[in-house]
Structure 1
Amino acid sequence: MSSAEIYRIDELSAHGAATVLVPLMGPSLCAGFPSPADDFVENALELPRWLVPNPPATFLWRIAGDSMRDAGIFDGDLACVDRSLKPGHGSVVVAAVDGEMSIKRMVLEGNRARLAFDNADLPVYALEELTEAAIWGVVRFTVRWHVAGAGQRR
């Protein structure tokens, strides 16, 4: 059994008083084909401690693009990425592909791993044989605004 604490929704307010600051990375994380971008901490967002079990290893990225829409991850969402989690088959991960950060689905086929889009309308994401790819972290959860324009930069 995992040592992680599990709360019912009605218990969260009692445990939600403690908060942590989570760095918001910029520019946006590419949810499509990688595009040139420099990593930097843009700001920080205060989140309840129970959402962020490992604050030093946790970062937020704003999503740009629609390659992960079938996973329920859309343009403008925030992805909470935990670098301490071990990715497995089906994990949504942030990967550095030739030095460019992007979000993909990790698929294990036998003893080989590949990265995939999660949008049936897009072609298969192919990594060239000499491509350098490294898993940077695992997406723990995403945040989506349902009020028009609420998640946009001002």
Structure 2
Amino acid sequence: MSEAINTQIIEILRPEISELKIPFVGDIAAGFPSAAEDFVTDSIDLNELLIEHKESTFLARVKGSSMDNDFKDRDLLVIDRSLEWEENKIALCYVDGAFTLKRIKINNGKCFLVPSNKDFPLIEVNYEQGVFVWGIVRYSIRKH
């Protein structure tokens, strides 16, 4: 079972880490068809693949549409709190008492949180506002 932290905007879950091996059939051509694999040749542990730092990794579910060009509502995100923020990374940030998911941009010495949906405004932030990067998005998982 996962431990949940509920906020006003986003649900953050701490994954329960245990081995989760899934059969792996190899690479699949997305262009022209190739010979099909007739058998499973290996397995992948999804926890090993998705979680590099287990003590600082959390899951969060996207709510809303401000990041529509990167994520859709209800996508599941793997967020690592141990990673340093960098220009152009997508981060879960805490601003004005709430969490928001945005891309980090620096321009002329100013820091902006940038939505991927152009219908939403840029958010200019600074340390005086008490803003901090809570974690960096490493992976997203979408149900099709």
TM-score category, normalised to shorter length: 0.5 to 0.7
How big is the shift at 1:63?
Answer: 0.7
TM-score normalised by the chain length of structure 1: 0.63
- 8 Å contact from structure 2 (residues 92, 134) kept in 1: yes
Name the amino acid aligned to 2:84.
K
Q: CA deviation at 1:93?
A: 0.1
* 1:88/1:108 contact within 8 Å kept: no
Q: Deviations over 1:22-52 (max 9, x none)?
A: x564447xxxxxxx36976577476421221
Map 1:132-147 onto structure 2 (within 5 A).
Answer: 132-146=130-144
Distance in 2, Cα, partners of 1:53 & 1:96:
23
**Residue type of the partner of 1:56?**
E
Distance (whole Å) between structure 2 residues aligned to residue 129 and residue 64 of structure 1: 26
Residue 91 to residue 27, structure 1, CA distance change in 2 (3 Å):
same
Distance in 2, Cα, partners of 1:24 & 1:144: 21
- Cα gap change, 1:43 to 1:139, in 2 (>3 Å): closer
% identical equivalent positions: 26
Q: Within the alignment, does 1:48 sit opposite 2:47 as a pair?
A: yes
* Cα distance in structure 2, aligned partners of 1:41 and 1:89: 26
Match of 2:103? 105
How many equivalent pairs are there? Answer: 117
CA RMSD of aligned residues (A): 3.0
Matches within 5 A, 1:58-137: 58-71=57-70, 73-127=71-125, 131-137=129-135
Name the larger-Rg structure. 2
Gap regions ≥5 residues in structure 2: 19-45
CA distance in 2, matches of 1:105, 1:25: 24
Q: Residues of 2 paired with 1:82 and 1:54: CA distance?
A: 7
